[in-house]
Every structure is written in structure tokens, then in C-alpha cells.
Structure 1
Amino acid sequence: MTAALPNPTDIVLEARHVAKSFGRTRALVDAQLELRAGEVHGLLGANGAGKSTLSRVITCHIRRDSGEITYRGAPYEAHSTRDALRAGIVLVAQETSLAPDLSVLENIFLPELGRGGRLSYATLRKRAGEILARLGHEHVLPLDQEVRRLSAAQRQLVEIAKALALDANLLIFDEPTASLSPSEVERLFDIMSRLRSDNRALIFVSHRLEEVFAITDRVTIMREGRTVANALPTASLTQSDIIRHMVGQEIGSVYARQERAEPAHSAPTVFEIEHLAAAPAVRDISFAVRRGEILGLGGLVGAGRSEAAEAIFGLRPRQGGIIKVDGREIRPQKPADAVKSGIGLVAEDRRFQSIVPDLTVRENLLLAHIGQHKGFGLGYAQRAQRMAHLIRSLDLPADRLDANLLTFSGGMQQKVVIARWLLLEPKILILDEPTKGVDIGTRASIYALLREIAASGVAVVVISSDFEELLGLSDRVVVISDGTSIADLPAAVLDEEKLTLLAAPRTSTARNTDFLKQLTRDYGGAGIWALLEEDEVICLGATQAPGALDTGLHPGRASAIAATHIPAALQSRVPQFVTEAAGDRATLLLPMRSRRGNDLGWIGLTLPAGEDLPPPELIAARVAALHAGD
């Protein structure tokens, strides 16, 4: 995806020796940046390194104390964000800055609403539709809906659409993928590639190194307010090189697993959700978590994962379902009820759902304790020992607990929010996008902490749009699509490609399931859609005619091939009917691929072995035609 490096003479923006302090905190010390037209430039660094501060200096959200910036060959002396917008410089922020009471349409064209003259809403609606179509979300964002009613991921998409509406020459994407699923990230990267091809300059701020290597041409790396690596070609670097520049040391595997005294699969069940319903996003979700287990909830943005967590925690009304803790049914009507039952929730949107901006680090850290504390005073002393342990394990600044939390980086804020719940020593901890906007070093410490608390017996539920994170951290993954839990599988049998296929909206997989139904209507028997490994099979879909012989496969479940009723066919994988050893079943298995050659699994048809079997070539032609037009 990375393009050839642009001509060195096409320098759009250059920053030299930029410095910025907030009181006694030096956010930027000696920041350098060189940005060329027609490139995607990665701006990297750990939380607090100065990336966002430098981005906001460029867009005039804050004024630099010293240093020089040139833009298009001339000194850049813009005095306001409006000046930056007029110059064609736009920031897509990590924490969105939208007008919550205005509609999606009005937010996309917010800068135009402040200009004189009459606006044609019909024209704006048409332009918005074109922009959202380019993003692949023309049906996801309702243009007339108030932004306050959108999820964090949808608000991020509005922010991106607003930047594209300005037709800017220099776009700064500050963690734009933090709330996006892998397929949505790919769509965004396609858009960024087109913008690069139009000779625009893009700055891409991300903590996900795999994204950095996928989309950037060059990178600049910052540490403690200084530029430690300036405009290096991405192709010349490895992940280890970048991490070493970012944190000043090597980091081992962020997903390193610990040995457990009691395997999670043999521990007692602590937390059970049965047929949870919370309209409109949650239709029928079920899962169970054992003591000491880390369960991942996988799915695309909008699948209903966050809404399910809110319904469990009493933040969203439920229309149905059973919630059990230690085998006892609970009915939380408000968060206090959930907390009393031993449930903690680290919400997705840190800024709006978890932080009280005017409070200090200590006060934010002890918020949940205050809600639970009974008696006179604040009762801080009873949590002192536990708090000291968490401060050490999470590397929180013990000498700055009375500073305002907003003066800290996003990663440090997230640590405080997680520590808040750990102070209460919950039985169940639900974390929604726990490493959103967090650097690799902080992610490693959060993962280590989650494994530590799981090893202590806490049941942990992790919701993440980062499929690599979900698979690396979880013991099991429950896949949610369109508000319904559709698969419950060990993380070890999955990879990102399989998880993406499982998580696809039911509307996009309907073609395959409808095809299975048509096969069984035409020929009888049982139809399957499955992913095949050497010794295992994951069933994605299954249909069966009345009285047909069972294949032993069930949608959303992984099975050992030898344990199914069609092991010979699953092992041979030849394009003809294979009769099983018992002589009662014959199965045809055919690979299914998209027009681009992507693996979409296998289609199978099982029929009684003694009957006349249809020509395999006829069915193979129908399978080949299924996705030929994609």
C-alpha cells in the first residue's frame, strides 16, 4: 500500500526546534518535523511524547512558545484554528470535538455553518452522501440524527468525514482508527491512499505499529517532547527499531502468557449471560466466563458489544435475558447494583464516560470507592495499601496524584480508570476498548496487569476492535454480529482472517446461508459452510433438509475433524463426493473464493451414499458463480 517517496523538493511543512510548556510541564522541548506533498507521514511516540501537542501547534489549537514552522515555503504564523482551516490544515482528533446537539449532516459541514450566505441543505446532503460513500459508511451514519446519540466509533467517522468535506491540503489523523474494525481501517487506508495520490500531505498518528507499516511512507518518532528520529523511511525500519526509539529500550512480547495454577477451562463459572436483549442494538447475546479466564467479545463496530456491556452494567434498559454472578441471578437497574454484585466496567469512551475533568488523579482514582463507601468522611485510608500497590504496578506518578487528570496523556488516564475498578477488587471486570489510544509500552503494562488479575481469580471480559489484541489476550472469543452471539471458540483456533469472516454482518453472509438452503432444497441432505484446518473445522453455517443425516457440525463451534460424522470428506478435501467408512454418507466439499481470490471457506453437501448423487461439476459451477461478481 505504501507509495514511492515523493520528491524531496515538495516540502509542505517544516517544524524546527518547536517548544511548548504548560506550567512546569515541558510538553515539547526540541520538536522537528518535515512533511512532503504526496506522502503519509507517521508521527509516533509513547503516550506523553508530544505527538498530540505538536499536532495542535500545527493546527493552532495551541500556540508554540518558540521554534519555527514554515508552510508551503513561507513562515507559518496562523493565530487561530480558523486561520489553519483557511490555510488548508485540518486535524482529525483522537477525542472528537463535535457539536453533540447538532445532526450528523450539520457536524460534517460545521465550518460552513459559520460562513455568511445561504446554505442549500439538499446540496450538503448530496455531498455528505458522497463523502460517506467513499468511507464505506453511507448507510451507517444517519444524516439527521443528533451526534450525541452516536457511538464513539460513529462520532469518529463523523470527524473524519468533516475533515474530508474541507478538501484540505494537509490532514492530521490523530488516532483515527482507535474505534474502527479491521475492515473499516482498510476502507480508511484506501481513502488515505487516494488523498496521497492527489498530492495531499497526511500526518498519521497511531500506536498500532502494524498500521504504521501498512500506510506510511516515512516516520518521525518523539520521546519526552523531543524528536529522536526525524523523517526516516518506513521501509528501512523494523518494529523493534520503532519501539526502541519510542521507549528507549526493548520490549518483549506484549502478549506473553503466564502459567496458571488452575487452568481457566477447569475453573468454576463466575459470570453467565443468557439471551440478553436491549433494543435496538442487542438482540440475543449469551456467554459465560470462568474464574481466572479472559473472554474476548469480538465483532465489528456497531455489532452490539458495547451496548451489551452497558445493559449488563445497568446503563441501558434490558428487555430480556438473565445475568448470573456465582450462579445467582441479579437484576441491575443502575450501575450501583452491578458494582454491589462485584462487576466493574471500564467504558469505551474515556473522556465522556470515565473521567471527571475537574478532579485530580487521586479523586478520579477513588471515584468508585466513594460510591461504595458508607459512613462518615471519604474513607480513603482503607484503600491506601491497595492503591499504593496499583500505583507501583501501573507505573502511575505517585508524586502527581493531586494534579488534574487532564494534564496527563491518554495512556496514563486509561491506567487511572482501570486502577479505579481494581481498587474495589471486583469478581468480574469488563473492559471496552481498554487500549484505545494507548502506546505500545502502556499496552504491554495493561496486558500484564489483566493477566495478573485474571490469575488472581477475576473473570475478565475484553471488548476490542483490534483483532490481534483480542486473539493475543483472550482465552476464548465470543463473536457478536448484528446484536447476536454467533460463535464461541478458543482463541487458539482463530486468526484475524477467520475472526473477520465470523464477525461479518449477517446481512453480508446471507448470500452464503441462502445458497446452502437452496442446495438442500434442490438435493436434500445437509449443507455446511466451514473453515478447515489440518485437524479442526469451524462451522460458519449449516442447513438440513427434513430427515437428512447429520454432519455433526454446529454453527459457531469448532470441532475436531475426527469427532464429526464426515471425517473422511473433511480430511480428503477433493472435488468429488467422498463416502464415509460407515458407508451411509457421501459428502462433496468445494472451496469458495471471492473474485479477488480471498478464501471464504468451504461449501459442503452431505447426502445418503446409496442414492444417485448429482454431478460435482454442476455444484462446483454454482459455488464458483456465487461470488464471481464481488
Structure 2
Amino acid sequence: MLQTSQKAEAEPLLTATGVSKNFGKTRALVDASLTLRPGETVGLLGANGAGKSTLSRIISGHIQPSGGDIFFDGATLSLNSTRDALRCGIALVAQETSLAPDLSVLENIFLPNLATKGRLSYRAMRIDANRLLAGLGHEHILPLDAEVRTLSAAQRQLVEIAKALALDARLIIFDEPTASLSATEVDRLFDIMENLQNNGRALAFVSHRLEEVFAITNRVTILREGKVVAEDVATSSLTQGDIIQYMVGRDIGAIYKKRTVKPEAIGETVFEVKNLKALPWVRDISFSVRRGEILGLGGLVGAGRSEAVEAIWGLRPRQNSDIQINGKPIRLHKPADAVRAGMGFVAEDRRAQNIVPDLSVRENLLLAQMGQHRGFGRGYGKRANKVAELISDLGLPAHRLDTSLLNYSGGMQQKIIIARWLLTQPKILILDEPTKGVDIGTRSSIYRLLQQAADAGLAVIVISSDFEELLGIAERIVVMSDGITIADLPASRLTEEKLTLLAAPRTSAARNQALLAELAETYHADAVWTLLDGDELICLTQAAHDNAPSAGLTPGEAIMVDQTLIPKAIREHGPGFVTETDGLRQTLFTQLTDKRGHDLGWISLTIAGTAQAPDPKNIRAKISNLTSTDKDDLNGRHP
């Protein structure tokens, strides 16, 4: 076992040694250890089934250990319930949310308070809730009076995080809190975690996203098959390769192995959606996917990605839509219609939407194909060869197909759910957050499986909050924001930063849009917010005066510099206005950065070539005033 040699400055708040847990004959934890100190974040890592969640649930009072010693604040910790843990100041932000679906967002945030003596002040609770959600940047996405049952899985996760923050606990365990969050939302959560650290809280952070581990943790403890293989190690002393080897016991190579796709391998358009409307979350979304293509749908929480797919699938009412398969209009009123049309759908919430807990692995695996079977019996025999092939490819234990699916790790459950739909041999497969809560090795095998399916001619649509994942697996990405399609671009033209800016909620970027409108009106200009990358440019948003000369840019479009009407200004973007060689336009570029110095793109102002150019200092002063007072709005963030 690897141990750190670096002496800690702070005394541990929690020390767990020799912790074990047996579930019948299954040994989930064997002699596990964990040390948490005030002012630090410790990464608790491991593959699916390694015992991370079991150890987290023991420390937070959800389950009792079979053995071992746990000390909290210098005294023996003995918990009989989660309420005991909360009284001690220990809170868990669970991967599988523990919210009351019939209660409102407000009541769930303060759920532990509802059982306390005395009268509650809903007014005070509302003020505190707004403060917490503003810190998370989601006060406009999570209405306090909405019932939790109406929220998406990602929104419920945000409520779970707010609930833990409301407890003001001394020790908080974050179990996969970022599984449904995008890079921007993760960054915002990390700001909050850093503040908690600085205020002396001890934090444990469970995640399968290694880039997050390096961004937020001070130390890591790594489990494999219920045993600690690296204990209390300084994160800075490790590489991603080191952590992966500790987790899985071998080098799995590159997580994202990009497909080599020849143009002729991508066929005709198989599935097309136009002007989809399913209020309140989906206002106007359009996209298409071709045979043999992997399409990514990206956006932040509340963008309408999951809701759009649920509306297509018949799980939400639609007010408008034009849905075509192989160029022919099709009516999809309920999920059975979609299945008969050759579609498969892996929903985001694995437990609530995908798994039938009372059925075995085999029955869960063959559930979808039973809807295609006609005649007597269950039709299992027709799929026997395909089942054998799939379980071999996915590494599923064939001898355990008749056991409960709940006995498997989350990663194995996800493999079985994906295999369920592949058995139906669909034309179109839609996957919502397919690698949510699964480890590095499982993610790699899921990506390989989807790429093989696309190579065989399947049209694949992947919804993900992980922009790195979209860039790594998709050939093309459609970006959504506030229920509207913002851009449809090849993945090769995008980066995580570009995706983040494209996905920024239009409501959050309202001040930026207002500034563009003001500049356009004041100077009779075409004002544009753009991203510059060598010889390529992406237009984020625009406002133009009626009499302004066009810069030749359209929001959501990626365009080569020479294809615009202001190529000289783009290449030079100096301190003043640059006049084009034809003399028809002159343009000023001003760069935007956030409080951390990240590039947020450029604001350009194009006016007539014969116009008297205004003082660039005045224009830059207006832009600087916006970025200095509310930089975060430009990135879909709130201060």
C-alpha cells in the first residue's frame, strides 16, 4: 500500500481504520482506511464496486460497518442513523439523490429541518435557499416552489448539493456530485468547495473524472476491490496514469480513442428533428444524425437536452415538432411507437428510468426485445447467440445472468442497459449521460462499444454534460441553451472553452447581449461576440443596427477568416479600428477575460468605412465596465 510521507499540518477531523463491511457473503470493504482533515479535500477514488460509496455511507450513518474503528474530532464515532451523523456535523451529497419527490425544492433543501421542534420560517428559508442557489448559479433554473418530481436528474443533483450546504456541516462527503454537471457548473461548485475548505471544513470528494481530482483535491485515497491500495497520498505526487493503474490494476491506454471515419462511411440522414417545442424546457430545438455517425448534444443544466429527448420519446407532451426517420414523417406518441420505429433510448437516471429491480440480469437485458417478439413465450431463444456475443464483449459474467441486477456495480448495470437496446438492433440509439457515475475502465469500454456500433451503421446520439467526453467521442456536436439550438458544428472545430461559451445560458449572458445592442445602436454598428482560433472564427451572438454594414457573421456559425467580410481586422485586431482593403468597413476588436484570466472571446464593432471612427478608449471603457462588474455573466456564471 502506498502512503504519503508528507506530514500534515492539521490534526485529522476524522480517522477511519480497519473498516470492513459484508453484505451476506459479499465483502464490500476489507480493512479500509480514510483520513480527513479540516481545510482539505481528499479524493476517494476507485473503480465501480471498489467500495467508495460503501465507505461514504458508513461514515455518514446510512449503513453500519461490520468492523473497524472510526474517530471523529478525537472521540469514537458510533452512528445508528443519518440523523446521528447530521447532529455530529457530517453530511453526504449522494450520487443517488435522497429527495422527497412530492415536496418542493425549498422543502427538500431544508428537509432535515422539517423534523425539528418549533415553528419554521418559510420566509427565512426562502432567503437562505436563494442565497445557496445563487452561489451555485442556478436560482433561475431551480424554482423553489416546483415539486422535485418534475425536475431532471441533473437538477435534482443540484438540490441535493444545496441541501448539504444548508446544513453547514463540518465534514461533507461529495459522492459523484458532478456526474450531471458541465465544466462551467463544476467550476462553480469547486469555488464553493474552496470556500468551505478555507472556512475549515473537511471534504471528501468521490469522482471518476480525473481532471476534477487534480483540480480540487489535496490528497487521495484509492480503493480496489474493497481494499485500500493508496492511502492519504498527496495529489501533486501522482499522474493520471498512476491513479488509473491503482484503480484498475493495469494501464488501459487512452480513454478517448478517436474513430478514424472516412467520409463515405457516414451515410444518409437517418433521424431528423425540426422545431421541437415542449414547454417549459424546450422552445425550439432542431438536429439531425446520419447513419454511422456519433452526434453529441451538449449544454448546461436546464438547456433542455434531456427534456427534448424525453419529448421525442413520448414521455413529455409536445406543442410542436417535425420528426422524420429516413426522410419520412413519423408520429411518436408513446415509447412503444419509438421502439417500433427502430429507436433505442438509455435514459439519464439509471435507477429510476432504466432498471427493473425485481427482475434478473437476463430479464433486464432482454426487456426491450420482448416488445418486438410476437407469438407465445418470451422469445429469448431468438437472441441467444447475440446475448452470448454481447456479454463476452462487455465482460459480463455469463454464470450470473439469473441473479439480481442490483447486485452489480453501477458500471456493470450501465453496460447491461446499453446492451439491452443493442439487442433490439435499432437504427437510432440515444444515450443520455451514458457514463454517469462509472469508472475509467467502464467508460473506455462503453466508448469502444458505441464506436463499434456506429461503425456497423448505427446512428448514435450522446447527451453529455462532460464536454471533454463529447469532444472525445462525437464527430459533430449540437449545442443547446435555454431550450434553443445554438450551434451545430464539427467536433474538430471545438474545444471545451468554445463549448462552454456557446452553451452559456442566454438569460445569464443578458448583460453581454444588452451591451452589444447598446454598442450597435450608439455607433450604427454590427456588434458581435466571437471566438478567434487561428484562421477560424465562431460567432456566439450578435446585435446590429439597421444601417450597419454586416461583418458577415451568423450566431452559432463557425467560419474561416477569409470567408468573413472583415478578414483584415480579424488578423490584425490591433488597438484601434482596422479598415478593410475595399474601404467599406472598419472594425475594432476588444478581448474579454474572466476573473481567472480565461479567454472569453472578443467583442467586435464594425462600422462603415467612411464613418468617423469613435474613440476606441470610450468603447473599451464600456466593455471593461461590464467585465469588471459582472465578468461571470459572460460565462453563464453569477458572482
Alignment of 1:626 onto 2:607: no
- The amino acid that maps onto 2:419 is A
1:262-411 paired onto structure 2 within 5 Å: 262-263=263-264, 267-411=267-411
1:272–1:323 CA contact under 8 A, matched in 2: yes
2:174–2:205 CA contact under 8 A, matched in 1: yes
Residues 254-286 of structure 1: per-residue CA shift (max 9 Å, x gap): 11123235456x531111111111111101111
- The amino acid that maps onto 1:331 is R
**Paired residue for 2:633?**
none
Aligned counterparts of 2:520 and 2:18: Cα–Cα separation in 1: 70
**Paired residue for 2:635?**
none
Aligned counterparts of 1:612 and 1:59: Cα–Cα separation in 2: 68
Alignment of 1:125 onto 2:126: yes
Q: How many residue pairs are counted as aligned between the two chains?
A: 625
DSSP 3-state at the match of 1:11: coil
1:6–1:37 CA contact under 8 A, matched in 2: no
1:8–1:36 CA contact under 8 A, matched in 2: no
**Paired residue for 1:462?**
462
Distance 1:116 1:10, change over 3 A: same
Distance 1:11 1:260, change over 3 A: same
1:292–1:454 CA contact under 8 A, matched in 2: yes
Distance 1:490 1:29, change over 3 A: same
DSSP 3-state at the match of 1:627: helix
1:170-319 paired onto structure 2 within 5 Å: 170-263=171-264, 267-319=267-319
1:529-568 paired onto structure 2 within 5 Å: 529-546=529-546, 548-568=548-568
1:393-472 paired onto structure 2 within 5 Å: 393-472=393-472
**Paired residue for 1:512?**
512
- The amino acid that maps onto 2:550 is D
Distance 1:262 1:607, change over 3 A: closer
Alpha-carbon shift at residue 548 of structure 1 (Å):
4.4
- The amino acid that maps onto 2:144 is L
Alpha-carbon shift at residue 344 of structure 1 (Å):
1.1
Identity of aligned residues (%): 63
1:179–1:465 CA contact under 8 A, matched in 2: yes
Aligned counterparts of 1:84 and 1:520: Cα–Cα separation in 2: 57
Alpha-carbon shift at residue 134 of structure 1 (Å):
3.4
Distance 1:308 1:381, change over 3 A: same
**Paired residue for 2:521?**
521
2:591–2:602 CA contact under 8 A, matched in 1: yes
Alpha-carbon shift at residue 595 of structure 1 (Å):
5.7
Which blocks of at least 5 consecutive residues in structure 1 are unaligned? none
Distance 1:602 1:196, change over 3 A: closer
2:10–2:38 CA contact under 8 A, matched in 1: no
Distance 1:580 1:599, change over 3 A: same
**Paired residue for 2:64?**
63
DSSP 3-state at the match of 2:508: helix
Alignment of 1:109 onto 2:115: no
- The amino acid that maps onto 2:224 is R
Aligned counterparts of 2:144 and 2:7: Cα–Cα separation in 1: 37
**Paired residue for 2:637?**
none
1:11–1:72 CA contact under 8 A, matched in 2: yes
1:6–1:36 CA contact under 8 A, matched in 2: no
Alignment of 1:485 onto 2:514: no
DSSP 3-state at the match of 2:507: helix
- CA-atom RMSD in angstroms: 2.0
DSSP 3-state at the match of 2:13: strand
1:64-103 paired onto structure 2 within 5 Å: 64-103=65-104
Alpha-carbon shift at residue 8 of structure 1 (Å):
5.2
1:282–1:304 CA contact under 8 A, matched in 2: yes
Distance 1:161 1:612, change over 3 A: closer
DSSP 3-state at the match of 1:358: coil
Distance 1:13 1:589, change over 3 A: closer
Aligned counterparts of 2:538 and 2:156: Cα–Cα separation in 1: 35
- The amino acid that maps onto 1:307 is E
Alpha-carbon shift at residue 335 of structure 1 (Å):
0.6
- The amino acid that maps onto 2:282 is V
Aligned counterparts of 2:626 and 2:121: Cα–Cα separation in 1: 43
Residues 535-594 of structure 1: per-residue CA shift (max 9 Å, x gap): 111111233443644332211010111122222222222233333333433333332334
Distance 1:13 1:73, change over 3 A: same
- The amino acid that maps onto 1:14 is T
**Normalized against structure 1, the TM-score is what?**
0.95
Range with greater deviation from structure 2 (149-158 or 482-491)? 149-158
Distance 1:107 1:531, change over 3 A: same
Aligned counterparts of 1:595 and 1:13: Cα–Cα separation in 2: 35
Alpha-carbon shift at residue 7 of structure 1 (Å):
4.3
Alpha-carbon shift at residue 95 of structure 1 (Å):
0.4
Aligned counterparts of 1:446 and 1:614: Cα–Cα separation in 2: 56
1:40–1:216 CA contact under 8 A, matched in 2: yes
Range with greater deviation from structure 2 (241-250 or 19-28)? 19-28
Range with greater deviation from structure 2 (317-326 or 196-205)? 196-205
1:6–1:39 CA contact under 8 A, matched in 2: no
**Paired residue for 1:150?**
151
**Paired residue for 1:502?**
502
DSSP 3-state at the match of 1:176: coil
DSSP 3-state at the match of 1:63: coil
